[in-house]
Amino acid sequence: MATIIDGKKTSTDIKDELKLKLIELKEKGIEVCLCVIQVGADPASSIYVNNKKKACDYVGIKSLSYELPENTSQEQLLDLIYKLNDDSKVHGILVQLPLPKHIDEDKIIEAISPDKDVDGFHPQSVGRLSIGQKGFVSCTPGGVIQLLKRYNIAIEGKECVIVGRSNIVGKPMAMLMLRENATVTTCHSRTKNLSEITRRADILIVAIGKPRFITKEYVKEGAVVIDVGMHRDENNKLCGDVDYDDVIDRVSAITPVPGGVGPMTIAMLMHNCVEAVLM
Ligand code: GUN
């Protein structure tokens, strides 16, 4: 029987641990503060931002929210970031992506002080991760590592195949698995004979953004499968990049969608906000 990796419970465990740390920090007179900036009113972004604010309330982090109009200029957004960079009461700054087309996302991410980069998107955070220095880790891949560790899934020496090479998930995921001493292969849209490579994986991590793409032909018997995807299918049902029903009899452990990797992202954001106090 496969282990179903419960991301909802694990994320609650992490948030409950953080709650205690935040009480300790409060007793020392430190109030952890996250600023969440949203430009425009994209409905999906508004849901994400709301969930982040709710998680802050749950763990005891102060959240300040900046809801800016769609026509905010790049300069106005940069000025706000510079102001928050200089505010010692602010520990984390998060600019919800995507941004409107007239704003250069790279410039915005680079403007955030690396000491307050709780998303882990700043080139300095990514560079630090790649050379094994301490720094903020992108929340979704950080959450995957927590799931593996908290379910006592050995990583060291294992064949790990990652499908997807985005800056937010695939690339940092590869760095993190390397840091945990896995043998890592990253596949992407131009990879030839994909199923041959994915079938080598002891741990298969999928973040390709294609609903139910990974079927049992891609999975080795006994593999651990981590599904980072999130889609709505033709019946409006949530599903991942992995065809769960097709692979379930073949895997030793798997993350469901919903309730797998998804809830971990916000828990790791809360974790990074607490870490920010020490930066
Ligand atoms: N948009 C979708 N996911 C994320 C995230 O993790 N952080 C930010 N800033 N924007 C996002």
Q: Give the nearest ligand 1 atom to 265 CA.
A: 6
What is the value of pTM for the model shown? 0.97
Name the H helices within the chain. 7-27, 43-59, 74-85, 105-111, 123-130, 139-150, 170-179, 194-198, 244-247, 262-276
> Per-residue pLDDT for 34 more than 90?
yes
Instruction: Give the integer Cα–Cα distance in Å for 101 and 153.
Output: 41
Q: What is the pLDDT of residues 15-30, one digit of tens each?
A: 999 999 999 999 999 9
Tell me, what's the pLDDT at 164?
98
β pairing state of 224-227 and 253-254: parallel
Dihedral sign from CA coordinates of 267, 18, 167, 114: positive
Q: What is the pLDDT of residues 146-200, one digit of tens each?
A: 999 999 999 999 999 999 999 999 999 999 999 999 999 999 999 999 999 999 9
Q: Which of 51, 104, 47 is nearest to 81 (CA)?
A: 104
Rounded to 5 degrees, φ, ψ at 238 are -70, 140
3-state SS class at 196 = helix
- All structural domains of the chain with their residue ranges: 30-117, 139-263
Query: Ligand 1 pocket, 139 CB below 6 A?
Result: yes
Residue nearest to atom 1 of ligand 1 (CA): 97
Could you tell me the distance, in angstroms and rounded to a whole number, from the CA of residue 147 to the centre of ligand 1? 20
Q: What is the pLDDT of residues 59-105, one digit of tens each?
A: 999 999 999 999 999 999 999 999 999 999 999 999 999 999 999 99
Query: Ligand 1 pocket, 95 CB below 6 A?
Result: yes
Give the burial string for 112-138 (b: 16+ CB within 10 Å, else e). Answer: bbbbbbbbbbbebbbebbeeeeebbbb
Q: What is the pLDDT of residues 112-142, one digit of tens each?
A: 999 999 999 999 999 999 999 999 999 999 9
Tell me, what's the pLDDT at 261?
98
Residue nearest to atom 2 of ligand 1 (CA): 97
Q: Give the nearest ligand 1 atom to 97 CA.
A: 10
Residue nearest to atom 11 of ligand 1 (CA): 97
Identical fold between 30-117 and 139-263: yes
Query: Active-site residues: which are they?
Result: 52, 96, 119
Q: Give the nearest ligand 1 atom to 45 CA.
A: 1
Could you tell me the distance, in angstroms and rounded to a whole number, from the CA of residue 96 to the centre of ligand 1? 5
Instruction: Give the integer Cα–Cα distance in Å for 172 and 168.
Output: 7
Tell me, what's the pLDDT at 278?
85
Could you tell me the distance, in angstroms and rounded to a whole number, from the CA of residue 229 to the centre of ligand 1? 14
Tell me, what's the pLDDT at 279?
81
CA 93 from chain centre, in angstroms, equals 16
CB 226, CB 169: distance < 8 Å: no
In CATH, the architecture of 139-263 is 3-Layer(aba) Sandwich (3.40)
Could you tell me the distance, in angstroms and rounded to a whole number, from the CA of residue 221 to the centre of ligand 1? 34
Count of CB atoms situated within 10 Å of the CB of 269: 25
Count Cα atoms within 13 angstroms, Cβ side, for 157: 1
Token readout for 133 is 């220095």
Residue nearest to atom 8 of ligand 1 (CA): 96
Token readout for 175 is 């760095």
**30-117: CATH homologous superfamily?**
Leucine Dehydrogenase, chain A, domain 1 (3.40.50.10860)
Tell me, what's the pLDDT at 125?
98
Tell me, what's the pLDDT at 271?
98
Rounded to 5 degrees, φ, ψ at 212 are 50, 35
User: pLDDT grade, residue 44 (50/70/90)?
Assistant: very high
Pocket test for ligand 1, best of 47, 119, 122 (most atoms within 8 A of CB): 119
